[in-house]
Structure 1
Amino acid sequence: MKTPSRLIIFFMLVISMLSHAQSTISSEEWHEDLRYLQTTVHEHYPFLFKKVSAADFDAAVEKLYTEIPALEYHEIPVKLASIVSLFEYGHTQITFSTVAKNGALPVNLYHFNDGIYIEGVQKAHEKTLGAKVLKVGGMPVEDALKLIRPVVPAENDQYFKAYGLRFLTVPDVLHAQRVIPKASNEVTLTLEKDGKVFDYTFPKVELKDISTSYGFSVPNDLWLSSRRDMSKIPLYLRHLNDKYYFFEFLSESKVLYVRQSSVFNDESETLKDFYDRLFAFIDANDVEKLIYDVRLNGGGNNYNNIHLIKGLMARPQINKKGSFFFIIGRNTFSACQNLTNDIGTFTEAIMVGEPTAENVNFYGDARREVLPNSSISVNLSYAWWQDKPAWENKDWTIPHIAVDASFKDYITNQDPVLEAALAFNSVDGFILDPMQHLTQLFIAGKIEELKNDAAKFAHNPEYSYYNFEEEFSIVGNRLIQNGNLEPGHFILELVSELFPESISVLYSLANAQELLKLNAKAIASYKRIIALDPDGSLATVSQNRIKKLKED
C-alpha cells in the first residue's frame, strides 16, 4: 500500500514537533529538577558532604537557581554537572556523555609532561595531528583548563588529566564556562607544530565518531593516531582492545611483565584463572623481577583483588623490595585504587609512574538518580571504601619513583616508566619513603643530615609528587599545637628555608616565634609576608601583629 506524500509530510512534522517539545524544558521545570537534586542529596546522600559543606553546596544551588532563566538551554546540564562535581568524587557525577551529547571536536587530547598535544584526530584534520595546544578560542590553554575544571568530578589533578581533559573539546562546556564567548558548532585552537604557530578551526562531530580507548586513539578508516609506527607497540598499549590482562616473559632479563587494565573478568578468562596461570608460570620459571602494570586500570570488582594479593604474599622470592614493581598512573581508579592500597599494605612493591586518579579512601558504587523533567541521570555514590586509617588518607597514591612520558617518548614508542622499573638494580641507598626517613633522622637528633637530605628530596624529580611543603608544615604545626614549641619551630624554620616564597609557612613560623618570645624574628617573618604579598589578607594581619609586638 502506497502512503500519500502529504500524509508522510504531516507525520514528519508531528514527529518533529514532539521531538522539539521533549527537548525543551521551561525554567520552572529546570528549577524543579534542581530542587529535586538538592533534596535527594540532603535526604539520601548527606554523607557526601566531606570536601564541600552542605552550606556551600546549597549556596551553589541557589546561585544556579537564579541564573537558570538567563541561561541558554545547553548551558544548564553543564551547570548541573558543576553542582554535582562539588563533591569531588569521581563516581559522583553527571556523565561526560550527558554534557557532550550535542557533540565534541574531532580530536583526542593528551597531557604529556611537556604540554597538551593532539594525540589523535579525524583524517580530515590531519595537518593538526601531533600539534601542541596553546590556546582554546583565543584563551591560553592553562586558563581554559581552570575554567572547565569545576565541571569535572575530579578527585585530584591526575583524575583531571585522565578523565577531565576531554571536556576541553566540548563546545557546550566551553561556552557555558566562558572559554568561548558564545555558543558555536566550531572552535578555533591555536596550535604549534614543527616550529610554526597557527590557528585551526574544528567543527563539532558526534561522540560516536571519536575513536579512543583508555585515553588513547584507536586508528581506523576515519581516525589517526600520532603514534604512526604501529610495528613496535609498547607493552602497556598491547592488546588494549582484545584483552583485559596478559603477561609476557622477557627471558633475557628474566623479567615478567604483566598488564592488567581492568578488575572485571574478561570474557575469555576470569581474573582468578588468570592469576592461577600467572603464578603457575612464576613457580615454573626463573623469574627475577615482576613488573605489574595497572596504569590504565580504571577499576571493576575489587573482590577480585584478593586472589592476586594472596598469590603474591605466598611467594617471598618475588615479593621483596627490588624484585616486585607496581606501575600506577593517572587512569588507576576505583577498584584498582583498592588494589593499589592492598599492594602498598601487604607487599614489598616499589611503585613506579604517576600518582593514581583516586583518593586513597573514597566514595564509590554510585546509584543512578533521574531528574524528573530533563531525565538527566545523576550518579551519586553511597559506599565508603576505607582501606587505610583516616590519618593515612591522601588525595592519591604517590609512586616511590616518579616517571612520566613526553610527547616524543609516546610517538617514538618509548616507555620511560617501564624503563625505570627495568633499570632499577638495587634498593641500597634508595629512600622509598622520604618523610619516614626524615622523621627517623629527626628522632635520632641527626640535624645536619636531616637538613641536607630534606634539601635533596625537595628538589629531586624522583620525589616530585611529594608535597614536602605541606607535609613539613603539618608536622611543625602539630608539634606546636601539642606544646612542643622548640621542635615545631625547628621544623617550620627548616621548611621556610626550603620554600622561602611560601606565605602560609612564614605565617606559621611567625606564630611559633611569637610563642617562643622570639619577637625580633617574628617581626622579620611578618615583614617578609608583607613584602611577598602586600595586598593579601595575611599582609594586613601581619601589620597588626607587628604593631602589637612593638607595643609589647
Structure 2
Amino acid sequence: MKKKADQKWLEVLDFLQYELPKRHKNLYFQMNESNYLKKIQSLRNELNRLEPPMITAEIAKIVASIGDAHTSIDIPVYYLCPLEFYWFSDGICVINTAKTDEILRYKRITHIDGVEIETVIAIMSTMISHENHSYRKAMLPKYLPAIEYLYGLKLARSVNGFTLTYENESGEGGDWFVPSCPLSQYQSQLNENRAAFPADKLPLFRKNPDRYYWMEFLKKSRTLYFKYNICKEMSEESVQSFGERLLDAVRENKLEKLVIDMRNNTGGNSTLLDPFIDALSKCDQINQQGRLFVIIGRDTFSSALLNVFSLKNKTNALLVGEPTGGKPNCYGEVLRVKLEQSGLRISYSTKYYHLIEDDHMLSLNPDVQREESIQDYIGLSDPCMEYILLSS
C-alpha cells in the first residue's frame, strides 16, 4: 500500500516538475526556477515520513508559490468542521454553524487551537494561489473549515476537530471545540441551522445567488439595480437579450441611477457583456458621472475584471466597494488536467493579459472604498448601496 501511495504523490511531483513548465504560459514569471525545483525535490525526499494531509499541504504550497491565482491545484477534503467564515472589516467571523455550535455565530475568531489568527492567516496563505490581499480575503475563509488543511499545516492538533477562541463585539468570549464531520454531512448540518433572514429585508447583493444575472427597479430612488453574478449564459435569456431589455428599462423609466453589481462575479466569458457595455457607453441618459455606478470587490476576478475595466474605460461609471481579487495584468485562459493515479486536478494559465502599463498594480481599486463589517451583515446593511443611494 505504501508503494502505491508513494507513486500517487510522485505522479503529482513529476507533473509539477516536468509538465507544468511546458504547459504554463510563463511559469517562472515571478519565482526562481532553481528554488521551485528545490521545493519539489525537498518534498520528494520527505514523502515517506509525511502523513497525507502534510503532503497535500506541501504540494499546494509549491503551486501557490508560482504566484498566479489562475494556476492552482484542487486538494480533496474528506472532513470539515461545520462552520462558515467571512473576513469582515473587523476580522474573521463565523456566519453559520451547526446547531451544536450556535454559540460561535457572529463571533470574531482570535485563535485556532491556541494559534493566533494572524499566524493562521500567514501560514494558510502559503497554500492559497493568490496575487493580492483581496483575493486572499476571498479565499482564506473558505479554507478554514477544512480540518485536513489545518492539520497538514500544523495549525490544528488533530483532524477530529479544533478549538476556536472567540470574542463578541465587547471583547467577551471563550473557547469552543468544534468536531469535524464527513464531507457528506457538512452542508446538511449547516443548512439545518442557517439563519432565516426575511427575503424582503435582505440587501440586494445577498438575494438570488443562484441566478447568473437579474435586475430590480428601486422605485423610491428611481434606481435600476443589475446584479451580474457570473459571466455565463442562462438558458431562459441570453446576456445580450437581458442587456437590451435592461437598457430599454433605463430609457422608459427615466432613471436617476444605474448600479451594476459585480462584487461576487468570479468570471467566465468576458465577451458576453461586451455588447451591453458598448450600448451603455452610447446611452447619454445614464452614462453620466453620479448616475452610473459599478460595485466591485474581493471576488471580482478573471473575466469579470475584464468587464469592469471596459466599464471604467468606456463609460463614466464610478467604482464603489473593495479592491478586486483579480490583478489587472495577469495570466489566465485556464486549462485543466486530471492526473490519472492521484485524481488531483491542476489548473494552469495559457495566456497573459496586459491591461495597464503599471504591472505592479495588484488590484483594480475602487474610486470609493466601502467594506462590510460584521454589524452590517447582522443588520442586513450594504455600505456600497447606502453610499450610492445617498450620493448626489
TM-score, with normalisation over the residues of structure 2?
0.93
Counterpart of 1:191? 166
Pairing partner for 1:238 from 193, 204, 207: 207
**Which position in structure 1 is the counterpart of 2:72?**
93
* Mapped partners of 1:232, 1:211: distance in 2: 24
Matched, 1:224 2:194: yes
**Alpha-carbon distance in structure 2 between the residues aligned to 1:235 and 1:219:** 23
The two structures, once aligned, show a CA RMSD in angstroms of 2.2
How many residues get paired? 391
- Aligned AA for 2:339? L
* Aligned residue among 39, 57, 60 for 1:78: 57
Residue type matched to 1:114 in 2?
Answer: D
Does residue 364 of structure 2 align to residue 397 of structure 1? yes
Unaligned runs of 5+ in 2: none
**Residue from 383, 387, 390 that aligns with 1:420:** 387
Which of the pair has the greater relative contact order for Cα pairs under 8 Å at 6+ separation? 2
Given that 1:167 and 1:173 are in contact with CA atoms closer than 8 Å, whether structure 2 keeps it comes out as yes
2: CA distance, partners of 1:170 / 1:185: 11
Paired residue for 1:335?
A: 303
Mapped partners of 1:342, 1:234: distance in 2: 26
Structure 1 equivalent of residue 116 of structure 2? 140
TM-aligned CA deviation for residue 67 of structure 1: 2.2
- Measured after TM superposition, the shift of residue 231 of structure 1 is 4.5
Aligned equivalents of 2:260 and 2:114: distance in 1?
A: 42
* Structure 2 counterparts to residues 366-385 of structure 1, below 5 A: 366-385=334-353
- SS of 1:75's partner is helix
Task: Give runs of aligned pairs for residues 236-315 of structure 1, distance below 5 A.
Answer: 236-241=205-210, 243-315=211-283
Structure 1 gap segments, 5+ residues each: 1-20, 213-217, 426-552
Q: 1:33 to 1:331 in 2, by over 3 A?
A: closer
| Mapped partners of 1:149, 1:380: distance in 2 | 19
What CA distance in whole angstroms lies between the structure 2 residues aligned with 1:24 and 1:149?
31
CA drift of 1:251 comes to: 2.1
Per-residue deviation, 1:123:
2.0
- Equivalent residue of 1:298, what SS? coil
Structure 1 SS opposite 2:72? coil
Equivalence map 1:350-369=2 (5 Å): 350-369=318-337
Q: Which amino acid aligns with 1:235?
A: L
Structure-1 residue corresponding to 2:85: 109
**Amino acid paired to 1:119:** I
Query: Is the contact made by 1:126 and 1:224 (CA closer than 8 Å) also made in structure 2?
Result: no
Task: Say which structure is richer in strand.
Answer: 2
CA distance in 2, matches of 1:273, 1:324: 20
Alpha-carbon distance between aligned partners in 1 of 2:159 and 2:369, rounded to the nearest angstrom: 40
Alpha-carbon distance, 1:209 to partner: 3.8
The answer for the alignment partner of 1:482 in structure 2 is none
- 2:30 is equivalent to residue 51 of structure 1: yes
Give the greater-gyration-radius structure (CA). 1
**Alpha-carbon spacing, 1:171–1:338, altered in 2? closer, same or farther (3 Å):** same
Change (3 A) 1:84 1:314: same
**C-alpha deviation, 1:335, in angstroms:** 0.9
Rounded to whole Å, the distance in 1 between the matches of 2:229 and 2:190 is 19
CA shift digits 1:443-471 (9 cap, x unpaired): xxxxxxxxxxxxxxxxxxxxxxxxxxxxx
SS at match of 1:55: helix
AA paired with 1:234?
A: P
CA distance in 2, matches of 1:46, 1:299: 20
Q: 1:369 to 1:236 in 2, by over 3 A?
A: same
Q: Which one has a larger percent helix, Structure 1 or Structure 2?
A: 1
After superposition, what is the alpha-carbon deviation per residue over 1:176-203, rounded to whole angstroms, capped at 9, x for unaligned?
Answer: 21213x4321111111137432111111
8 Å Cα contact 2:83/2:190 also seen in 1:
no
Identity %: 27
- CA deviations 1:203-246 (Å, max 9, x no partner) are 1123344449xxxxx973x1323x745551111111123x2212
Cα separation, partners in 2 of 1:229 and 1:194, compared to 1, 3 Å: farther
Q: 1:209 to 1:145 in 2, by over 3 A?
A: same
Asked whether the equivalents of residues 298 and 335 of structure 1 are also in contact (C-alpha less than 8 Å), the reply is yes
